[in-house]
Amino acid sequence: MNPLDRSGSFTDEETVLLADGEFFRKKQRISAKIRTMLEASHVALRDELTRSRLLAPSDFDATHHQFVKGEHLESCPYQYLDCPKHFQGSDKYTFRTLVWWGHHVVFVWILEGRLVKQYKKNLVDRFHSVAGRHLELSTAPTLWEWKCGEGYTLPLTHDRKATVAAVVAERGFLKIGRYVPLGDARVRQGDLASLAREAFAALSPIVSS
């Protein structure tokens, strides 16, 4: 590095943060609490799965799940649970509970593959069973966009059936879920499990037989 090039140097604010060991210990404690919340969500979702008549791929195994932790989802840490988890070839049939630091919590079905036409039909035919329940349809061009709001998601309200039907008709996959602010009272209380259960139940008309 050129000794005159200061682009690699720390600002005063960065130096204070780098030297603040308690900041990193707080981050570790928060991560551990999130993991505990996701484990409780896993228990709740397993219970929901036993009650559901799912329309799933023939090789689907409802016991498959996965916990994941990372640091770089658009520069922010994240932790998530996939339960159930099914990524097999072109088929995707997965319910994800994602805690995205600096953004929100997401409870979402990821759907693609052989049965996606039926899921789209279920969404339209059973629209008023899922509308008005704080759910949103991702309108992003990829399954892996996690932001919400204008340009990213479309709220499922009762007056939007025709709009939603037109949007999903042109798509080869579905991603529908609930986006909850990190400041929500139940998130702050650690009750991710009840939120996951509610979102799973609200979305069940789309993914059930």
pLDDT at 124: 98
Q: At 2, is the secondary structure helix, strand, or coil?
A: coil
Give residue-wise pLDDT tens across range 23-48.
899 999 999 999 999 999 999 999 99
Residue ranges for the chain with pLDDT beneath 70: 1-7
What are phi and psi for residue 41, nearest 5 degrees? -65, -35
CB-based contacts of 164-170 (< 8 A; 24+ apart in sequence):
164/123, 164/124, 164/127, 164/137, 165/124, 165/127, 167/137, 167/139, 168/120, 168/123, 168/124, 168/137, 169/120
Q: Which domains does the chain have, with CATH numbers?
A: 12-207 (3.30.930)
Residue 162: both structure tokens together: 């025709």
* CA distance linking residue 148 with residue 106, whole number of Å: 9
The pTM of the full predicted model, rounded to 2 decimals, is: 0.93
